[in-house]
Structure 1
Amino acid sequence: MATCDICGRHENLPYRCSRCGGTFCSEHRLPENHDCPGLGNWNDPAGVFASDFDDSASTAGRSKSALSRVTQTGGILGYFRGNVSYLFLGIMWVMFALEWVVIFGIQNGIFPPGTFSALFTLSSEHPLYVWTWITSIFSHSPVSFFHIVGNSIVLYFFGPPVERYIGSKAFATLFVFAGAAAGLAHIGSSLILTPGVPTSVLGASGAVFAILGVLTVLNPGLKIYLYFIIPIPLWLFTFGFAILSTVFFLAPNTAATVGQGNVAHFAHLVGLVIGLAYGQQVKGRHRVPSQMSFGGRRGGPGGRF
């Protein structure tokens, strides 16, 4: 027995798409019904043509951009169509390794002292270092291993179902936009509330909680396991997180007493609000799974959480 990658329905005789490798029920077996990236091979998003031998379709396909050609099925980067969640997860860990390389270089006099901040953190002192708007999303605190592990868990389990629902391009745009907006909002609020006090931010928390917000709107009753043990509905987890972040943002002394004083709580809230708002825009396109199970679409792992 297998599970449909779109609706989560159990199938004794599932259909496996020869183009994307996903597993589907009878309702979603056709490429156009599961947003198959293989449709891009003949530039036929409506799924009109049944083969690759239509002359007009082949002519249209040749006019596509170089980016489309390398990211379509069979292209060099074709694997990342439908797997942007895991691509970003990998980038986070590569960036984490690079952070330690830079730290080692600073400690041994290879790099100047300000290199780490200039490369990896979005700061109120240098808000126009525009590359840090992006690099700070994929960077994490080198002194807190839980920081990157926590964000990795959320992205690993919650990212794929959201990506399958909204598509890889929209997912990538949402992740980067929400992450950058959350970081900018954090340093902006600090400039207003504590002028003259330098602040900086790094981490994917704003982005991953935007993903959490989208999934909460799409399927608020989705059962997750808090600490992998306690079953609760997703909406309760999201609501509880929002309440805690709000309290900690408004009462930083309280946050400090419970070990949350050096956390960008406002950035978390901004990312979550962006996700909730975007979820309302895309809600209703098609069904979402009632639970997350291993064996995700297009060769990427899902996960019951």
Structure 2
Amino acid sequence: MEDDIDIAVDKWYELFNQVINKHAPMKTKRVKTFKQAKWFNEEIKNSIQYRNMYHSKKDWVNFKKWRNKTTSLIFNAKKEYYQNAITSSKNSKELWNHIKELNPKEDNIFPPKMQYENQTVYNNQDIVNTLNVHFSSVAEKLIGNNTSDMDFSMLQNFTSEKLKKTENFHLKLISVGEVCSQLKHLNINKSAGLDGIGPKFLKLSAEIISPSLTFLINKSITSNRFPQKLKLARVTAIHKGGPRDIPSNYRPISILNTISKIFERHVCTQLYEFLNNNKLLHIAQSGFRQGHSCQTALTKLIDEWLKYLDNGEIVGTVFLDFSKAFDLLTMPYF
């Protein structure tokens, strides 16, 4: 393997893709797919056949009878299926998937035009470029001329009270076993990143590629450099609402290369452990913490509110939402 991390990563991709192209070459094939609704049953199928038969015979009396029966069967089947599905949903993701099925939105419609800075573009490539310019410059526009230094004295005081002067965070190297375990636990239903390598290929070849990936991760750690290739992401513009020809009505979703997730998970695990062990995470923080969520935050807030209300006091709350919060973080603050 090369000493330079970027050259080493490029070489790894070259060798891996050679093997993939040899044993599983990409081929284009048209496949006619038909996804049957889960609420559809044999009774509805038979009713549709009778309805269509009487329609073709122009027997309008029986046609109306079976049309109404078919409509009723479909309505009741949908009602029963979604009531059971929503009631038995094990998590919020599963619940919202069912709700989206009931109220489908046209999220994947490509806008016919895009308006930006008093100009309107119609070409597909120009529309994509316009969204790219908007996403990459929106933070700078929000910051504007506000370049004043932020006061981090309170944060520094908080951390200095928790940490000893000799207590520093040191990123440990990763083992072949840890890399192999992470590869074997990849979700094969996740999308591939810009490199086109899906998690299924990596999972199937986990034991073979673990040593080489371990070398790359450890090389990145010891050289204090994250590979340039793994910084690239496939960005999808998701429509939030409102007119589809306004860039600000879209939010970017970055699909990272699966390999970079192995890198990042290793760093995240150690960093979270360090923060948690040294009690550097505020007790009121619920975001980005294991075992915490919006539900835990709401439970604590409601409990506090009820205590005040029981004592006859008035409760007032202020909710803040930071626009482009992560994009507004600049390098000097890290």
What's the TM-score bracket when you normalise by the shorter of the two chains?
Answer: under 0.3
TM-score by length of 2: 0.23
State the TM-score, normalized to the length of structure 1. Answer: 0.25
